[in-house]
Structure formats: structure tokens, C-alpha cells
Structure 1
Amino acid sequence: MAPTSEHPVIVIGAGPVGLAAAAHLYERNLPFLVLEAGASAGAAISEWGHTRLFSTWGYNIDTAARRLLDGHDWEAPSSKRLPSGHALREEYLEPLAQLPELAPCIRYRVRVMAVSRFGKDKTRTAGRNTTPFLVRIQHPDGTLEDLLASAVIDASGTWSHPNPLGQAGLPAPGEQEARATGRITPPLPDVLGRDRDRFAGRHVMVVGAGLSAANTLLDLAKLAQAEPTTTLTWAVRTTDLARVYGGGARDELAARGLLGSRLRNLVEAGKVEVLTSFTITGFTMGTSLTVRAVTPDGDREVDVDVVASATGFRPDHTMLSELRLHLDSAVEAPAQLGPLIDPEFHSCGSVEPHGERLLAHPDENFYIVGMKSYGRAPTFLMATGYEQVRSIVAALAGDRAAADAVELELPQTGVCSSDIGTSCG
């Protein structure tokens, strides 16, 4: 059902996928408003901006966004170059957000608190799908404002909701205290820059079996060369490190394959102690941080100075509690998408192209896109999000043929990913 009211399409989040949605909405002449909690476009990316993506610029620029930028003499980065997070913001997202076509429709420092239907809670059915959405936002001074929308696209991401380190998907006893005191770091710390002093000369445990863990371990190995008293431990729940290392030379994204190969070489050279089948059961604060775990050989305790968390992310649907969602019970993605992205069976390159029909929910004209649309599955590529919003905007514009013509060619990894710590982008 195409939006028919005078209300705009509201996009939550001014990251890469949110701004791509805005670009497509502009091209389709649909009124829109982008709401961003941070102070600038791609605000969350600034927290991991030191990290280099392993997909080239060619995979990280949306087609509608490129058309808008090209109309303003934008100098596009080389399609074969690998951007860092900072480059992604500075060379692409910030120029895109500052375009006169988009800038007046982006509001910063506003946090979306809830999305519902105007005058209707989740239990009300009559006339529901012809009733505008109500989007409640909070301003920096704490005041609330209600906005009406003809459709809502949630591109808010998952960065602020990392997975806990404990077993069974739960925080381990003592984990919250250790995080609050900085003994457990957020994902992808800037080991060689901003956060260097937290790791230099210390015993560091990296927990996680994915790409963010690999990036952190490789940076820590560089730090250890300059600070030889730095010691490294890598704890994973899995027993099969071959799956963690990835496809190597078989990976069509060379940088992603190289990341796994370099990690393998680091381990084989004995520069990092590896603890496999290591399930964390608790943390005890003291002079050091004691990590308690269950292993095949019984209970174990390891004393470290700091733990670098790299166990991935999960979506937070709290603000959507008054909407009628249809989510996969396992990965918490839209129900029709969930089986296609289950990380036990699919890698970044083996996910089928998908668009509006697979992303739809019982509340018509509401969509979750980008990293958040993958729920707990870590196999997301940015190009996938761009195709999602292209299809959704076409559907909102009433162009069903374009919405259903979903085409996306993704690079193969050479191995299905499992327990990855962050986006494949």
C-alpha cells in the first residue's frame, strides 16, 4: 500500500542505509524526514572509524546516493580502494548528508523513543493500516515530541547493543560491573590510537570468533611488538578455528580472506594463546579481572587485565513494542528473511537478494533495514542494505515491478561464516 497521506516517510538513523533510503525517497519525490540520535551523519561509525572495511568502495556507495553526489561535482573514491570507517564518513556520508536535496530533511540529536499508530495501541485492528504512524522523539533537553508518518523505515542499526559474554545469551555474573569500570571494553577498540594505554603492557583477553575479534587481535599483535610486555589470549566457544579463519584465498573479497589468513599465521606463530571451547560463566573484580569459564577439561579461571569484547550485536526492538512485527524466532530478523540469513548455513555471499516483500511486517509500511534487519545474524553486507531500501522505496512509490526486481551480486566468502562479531561490510 503506497503512502497516501500528507505525512512524510520517517527514516530512523542517518547511517549508510538510512541516508541511502533518503536518497531513493528524494528521487521518487516522496516527502521524508531522517531522525538521527547522533550529532552528525554516521555518528556510530566514528566509534570504530579506525577500522578498515574489507569490502571496497564499489560495494559501499548506494546508486541513488551516487547520482545525487555526482550532480554536485563530488569526487568519488576509487571503487577498488578499501575505506576505513572514518573515510566512509568523511568522503561519503557527510558530503551526502550536506547536499541541499537531503540536508533540510535530516534532524540530529533526536532520539526515537517509540513508534506506534496514531490513536491505536498494538491491540487495535480496525483501520490500522490506513492510520498514520506516531513517532515519539526526545530532544537533548529531555522534551518529547510526537511526529506523524505515512511510513517508517528503521535503519537504527545494532552498534549500541553488543551481545553479552556469558553463556546462553545472558550476561555473566559480574559482567555488567566489569563493563562499567572499563575492564571489559566496547567492540573494536582503537588499540593503536585512542585506547592504546588501556592495552599496552597488559594481559588482554579477546573474546569472540569473528571479524571484529580478528581485527582487534591483529592490532594487539602490532602493539605487542612495540610493547613486549603485552600478552594476548584469545577465547572462543567453538572448537573449529578453521571456520573462524574463513575462506582465505577462496574469498572474493581479498581483504576479508587476508584477515583470516593473517590471524591464522599469528596463532601458528605462538603470539597469542588460544582457548577453545571456552564458555564464560562469570567475572570477579580484583587487582586483576578473573574470568571464570567451563571447558571440556572442567572449570577454569584466567586472570587478565582487560577483556576486549568481540561477540557481535543484537537488535533492540524496545521502541517498536506497540507495532505488530513478524520476527524470526531464532535470529530476530523479519520472519521471511530469517531462514535465508541463518549464519549456521549462510555467509555474506550466499544470502539471496531480498527486497520489500521479505521485509514486510503485519503493520503495513513499516520496515526494519540494514544491520538491524539481520537481527542476530552477522552476515550483513552494506550493499544488501542499499538494495533493501531501493526495493522498499519503490514499493512505497507504488512501483511494484521495480520493488520486485531485486538484483544483487555479492562476493563469496569461500566458507559459511559462524559466530561472527560484526557486519561483513
Structure 2
Amino acid sequence: MAVESPARIVIVGAGSIGIEAALYARFLGYKVTVLDSGDVGAHLRKWGHVRMFTPFRDNCTKLGKSALAAQHQDLSLPLGDQYVTAGQYLEQYLQPLAESDLVADCVKRHHTVLSIARSSQTKTENYGQPARSETPLVTLAKDEQGHEYVFESDIVLDCSGVGAQPNFIGGGGSPAVGELAARPYLETGLIDAKGKDAKHYANQQILVIGAGHSAATNICQLSLLARETLETHVTWVTREGKADGQCGPVAVIEDDVLPQRKRMAVEANRLLVDENGHLDHWPETTVKSIHYEPQNNHFHVTLDGKHSGVHTFDRVVANVGYRPNLEMLHELQLDLCPNTEGTKSLIQPEPNFYILGSKSYGRDSSYLHGNGLDQIRRVFAIIGGRESLDLYAEPPSSSNQA
């Protein structure tokens, strides 16, 4: 529903979508507070060495570039068709944007959001009724020292992503026996095997779980390391066998619009044929239980299926996807997809509450940054009550002007 500026907006998450949304809101005159449990672009920092699947032009906005040009006349941005790493994107675009005049004073780092609710209405009250929007939204957050704060607002944009909440490794998606205790010692991100993570993985027995693009990226990284540290061995476990028409488990989209993604998938599958004993693929296999022994820093993993048995590994990399954190939204009225836990539409039953970015897709890994930018444009058209509002649009050429 339309809310005129200067209304108050709380944005959860200081990643790329949260920062872009903050800039958009401030440009329109809204009062903005951005809350993040870490620092700006915290998730991007974890895979800063990895080249993004989409070119820079798909990960920036006209509004963002204009804001940077106004403040940093000497700032050199990547070319539009350049495929930058996540670290380059953070350093050259997102971090400067977060430090720009319109955004810098909005961001509260190291504020973990605990709950978002109505100030005086529970989840069960006034469903679908205008009265639901008569009380403000309240966001409860905790800082690094454990102090709690309440932020009252007219609108909340949840841009918190899914990167902080990995899925479980058990065969049916529930925790494997012992996983909750072992979870702090599992790796869930993307490995920099030729850089900062080299010593951690060199000459180790490594278990990689999963058949998506994160797993494929890590298989390629670890293969590079194994060629230089000959005691490195990788066991790749997947629930399914080979993907259709492939020599490995990663599905390849033949007409993929993202060539970087296709190359990664093809390369990971190919390595199973060419890897000379450093890589084994165990298909149709799941994790039944896992036990971590801190005294010797290794894992005992019980596998079920085609390669059942108990095995010992030095490192376990769980690339089984992510799920949205819905705990903080329990008192809000939401309409979520039953299988992905993502949103069914941009507009939720809860008035003036919106989920943007990868969290809106839930467990669906097909999200691209451009989807989130389009959501920003659409949600502010709704908030502003102007269907044609689009701060990302290119100005009309002189030939089209009267």
C-alpha cells in the first residue's frame, strides 16, 4: 500500500540488495535504518575470490553509479561487460556506495535482528483487514554487546538473504545424526584453495557433499590444489547419479544465458574423468551420521546408499544449499511457497512488509542479482503509489523528446 515520504523504513541486511534499496529510499526522501548482523557485504566477503556469473552491468544500477560519480570523481568502476570477482565488486562498487552521503549514516553494523512484528497486534489479528496497518512495525535487534534495541517503522524490507543459514546434510533435508554438534566445524561456503584456504585443505582427506554450482566451484578449486599437493584427496558425495547427458552429477544448461556458470558445471563433471586418482564421485549416497573429534580434528561420517559405510575425513564441505531464516518473522502474516519457503508474490498479506533479494526465492537457487534490483524498483512503485516510478530507467534520448 502507498506510504508517502518521509515515512520510516527499516531494511534488514546490508548486502547488495539492502544497500541499493537504502539508496533508492533515501533518494525518494524516506527515513532509513539498515540493520546487519555483520558488516556491509559480509556474505560477498566469504567468496571474494570467485568470479561472478553475471557481468558488472547486471550487478550495478544507474542510481548507484550516479551516486558514486557525484562523490568520487576519481573512482574507476569496472567495465559493463567485465566479469569481476565478488571481492572486486565489493571493493569497487558496494562498499563505496555504502559509504556515500545518502547511505552512510543509515547503516548500523553488527545489529542482529531477532524479531519483526506489529507493535500491538499478534499474528492472528486482523488478517486482510485495513486495521492491520494501523500500528507500526517494530524490529527488535541486538548489538555486539548484547544490548537490545527496538526500531519502529512504517515499512520493513527484509533483504537479509539466505547465506547465513545452510541446509542440513541429512538425506531427507533434516540434520544427520550428530550434525548439530558438528555444524560449527563444517565448511559451507566457497573455498579459496589457491589462496587463504590452501593450508587448511592441502594434503587432507576431503568430503564434498552436494551437486549444485557451489559444489562444482569447490571441486574445481580443490582439483587445482590436488595437482600441487599430492596427498590431497576429494570424495564427492551426491544423492543422485550422473546428470542427464553428463559424465558427472552437475546439471548443465546447454543454452545457459550465463556462460560462466555453464563452464563451471562442465569443468566439474569433466574432472571426474581426468583427475588421476585425486577425486572420487560416490553417487546415490547420503549422510546418515557425522561425528567430529576435536582432539585430532577429523570427522567420522556414516554414509547410506550405494557407498554405505563409516569413513574418516579431515575436512567436510557441505554445499547443500541454503534456507531463509523465518524465525524472526513468526509474528507476521506471510504467504510462502510450501516447497521453497520463498514468497509467492512481492506483496505479502502483512501490510508494508516486503521480502526482497535471495530470501524471496527461499531454497530456490535460481535467484540472480538482477531479480533483486527489479524487486526494488517494483516495491518502491508500490510504496510510492506510482506505477511508473523507476529510478533505474535510462533517460529518453534527445530524438524521442518533443
**TM-score, normalised to structure 2's length?**
0.88
AA aligned to 1:203 is Q
Which of 226, 229, 241 pairs up with 2:228?
226
Identify if the C-alpha distance between structure 1 residues 58 and 5 changes in structure 2 by more than 3 Å, giving closer, same or farther: closer
AA aligned to 1:48 is W
* 2:351 match: 364
AA aligned to 2:347 is A
SS in 2 for 1:92: helix
| Equivalent pair of 1:62/1:383 in contact (CA under 8 Å) | no
1:371-410 alignment, distance < 5 Å: 371-402=358-389
1:1-400 alignment, distance < 5 Å: 1-4=1-4, 7-38=7-38, 40-72=39-71, 73=73, 74-125=75-126, 127-180=131-184, 182=185, 184-242=186-244, 244-247=249-252, 250-271=255-276, 272-285=279-292, 288-296=298-306, 299-335=308-344, 358-400=345-387
Alignment length, in residue pairs?
Answer: 379
SS in 2 for 1:168: coil
| Equivalent pair of 1:220/1:232 in contact (CA under 8 Å) | yes
SS in 1 for 2:160: coil
AA aligned to 2:323 is R
1:160-197 Cα deviation digits (max 9, x unpaired): 100111121111012233333x3x22321332222222
SS in 2 for 1:90: helix
Q: State the alpha-carbon separation in 2 of the partners of residues 210 and 192 from structure 1.
A: 21
| Equivalent pair of 1:331/1:377 in contact (CA under 8 Å) | yes
Deviation of residue 206 (structure 1)?
A: 0.7
Deviation of residue 249 (structure 1)?
A: 6.0
Runs of 5+ unmatched residues, structure 1:
336-357, 407-425
AA aligned to 2:300 is T
* 1:340 match: none
Deviation of residue 30 (structure 1)?
A: 2.3
Identify if the C-alpha distance between structure 1 residues 122 and 285 changes in structure 2 by more than 3 Å, giving closer, same or farther: closer
Larger mean CA deviation between 102-111 and 25-34 belongs to 25-34
| Equivalent pair of 1:14/1:42 in contact (CA under 8 Å) | yes
Q: State the alpha-carbon separation in 2 of the partners of residues 280 and 313 from structure 1.
A: 17
AA aligned to 1:211 is H
Q: State the alpha-carbon separation in 1 of the partners of residues 191 and 22 from structure 2.
A: 30
Q: For the pair shown, which has the larger CA radius of gyration, 1 or 2?
A: 2
| Equivalent pair of 1:58/1:80 in contact (CA under 8 Å) | yes
SS in 1 for 2:311: strand
SS in 2 for 1:226: coil
Q: State the alpha-carbon separation in 2 of the partners of residues 251 and 93 from structure 1.
A: 27
Identify if the C-alpha distance between structure 1 residues 189 and 199 changes in structure 2 by more than 3 Å, giving closer, same or farther: same
Q: State the alpha-carbon separation in 1 of the partners of residues 292 and 159 from structure 2.
A: 37
AA aligned to 1:91 is Q
Runs of 5+ unmatched residues, structure 2:
394-402
| Equivalent pair of 1:30/1:397 in contact (CA under 8 Å) | no
| Equivalent pair of 2:223/2:275 in contact (CA under 8 Å) | no
AA aligned to 2:77 is A
Q: State the alpha-carbon separation in 2 of the partners of residues 246 and 5 from structure 1.
A: 47
% same residue: 28
1:181-240 Cα deviation digits (max 9, x unpaired): x3x223213322222222111111111111111111111111111101101111111123
| Equivalent pair of 1:15/1:41 in contact (CA under 8 Å) | yes
| Equivalent pair of 1:115/1:133 in contact (CA under 8 Å) | yes
Deviation of residue 138 (structure 1)?
A: 1.3
Identify if the C-alpha distance between structure 1 residues 94 and 115 changes in structure 2 by more than 3 Å, giving closer, same or farther: same
Q: State the alpha-carbon separation in 2 of the partners of residues 391 and 192 from structure 1.
A: 41
AA aligned to 1:176 is L
**TM-score, normalised to structure 1's length?**
0.84
